Amino acid sequence: MNILILGYGKMGKIIGEIAESRGHSLAAKINIDNRDELNDLDASTIDVAIEFSQPEAAVENIAWAMERAIPVVSGTTGWLSRKTEIEKLTADQNGAFFYASNYSIGVNIFFKVNEFLAKLMNETSGYKATLEEIHHTEKKDAPSGTAITLAEGIFKNVEQLNDWHLVGQSTENEQSLPITAKRIDPAPGTHIVRYSSEIDEIEITHTAHSRQGFALGAVLVAEWIQGRKGVLSMDDFLSF
């Protein structure tokens, strides 16, 4: 495959290395300071765009590729309030758009465990649910996209909860799940779901040891999306 990398930062670089090690070529590696290179590209030679940039840039990047009939695999977090615009564009263009807040297979297993645990906790009284995420200090958004996906998995299953708030930034209420966001270098990404009672505590944790799992997942999805259409997610890609 010939891959366009949109956002050549910490993630883009590892994605490029993994893609090349799997025999793919890189059409271009686009950052904020070399976006002009997009004008020189022949879009018909590009099989897929992998987009890991920043919240303010994601929609523009995705739209650029979608308008040129290039399938898009996006991992940028913090822009999802505009996801419906991209879903509409995907439908209008009869294109392919894949989004995941986390491409690591381990985290996607963790999402399932989170939902199962939430179902059990919904049947049990006396526990208070909280979330914690820990990332490196360069991270621009809080809470992480992964923490928001975990929160949504809890809302689906715990009747009492339907919203989240960042601890320290808004007041608590019974329906709102508190999320603590910590920024500590060099943490690639740690997520903790905790249920506490006076008697005990139940805690599940996913800790990424590096960015390899996120990057490999994105390349595997880029291979998988070839020939597919529509708005796609990890539920389409994974068999569990």
Ligand X SMILES: O=C(O)C1=N[C@H](C(=O)O)C[C@H](O)C1
Ligand Y SMILES: NC(=O)C1=CN([C@@H]2O[C@H](COP(=O)(O)OP(=O)(O)OC[C@H]3O[C@@H](n4cnc5c(N)ncnc54)[C@H](OP(=O)(O)O)[C@@H]3O)[C@@H](O)[C@H]2O)C=CC1
Least distance from ligand X to the Cβ atom of residue 196, Å: 23
Q: Which of 145, 151, 182, 176 is nearest to 163 (CA)?
A: 176
135 binds, among ligand X, ligand Y, none (CB under 5 to 8 A by kind): ligand X
Q: Which sign does the torsion angle of CA 45, 2, 71, 37 carry?
A: negative
Question: CA gyration radius for the chain?
Answer: 19
The tokens for 178 are 């508190």
H-run or E-run covering 87 = helix 83-93
Which of 12, 16, 189, 217 is close enough to bind ligand X by CB under 6 A?
Answer: 189
Q: Tell me whether residue 29 or residue 128 sits nearer to ligand Y (CB atom).
A: 29
Beta bridge partners of 181: 133
Q: Where does this chain touch ligand X (CB under 6 A) — which range of 31-39, 120-128, 144-152, 166-174?
A: 144-152
Binding mask 136-175 for ligand Y (x = CB under 6 A): --x-------------------------------------
> Annotated catalytic, 139?
yes
146 binds ligand X (CB under 6 A): yes
- Alpha carbons 61 and 233: distance in angstroms, whole number: 19
Binders of ligand X among residues 82 to 141 (CB under 6 A) are: 101-102, 135, 139
By the 10 Å C-beta count (0-12 exposed, 13-18 middle, 19+ buried), 219 is classed as buried
**Residue 7 lies near ligand X (rule: CB under 6 A):** no
Known active-site residue 136? no
Which residues are known catalytic residues? 135, 139
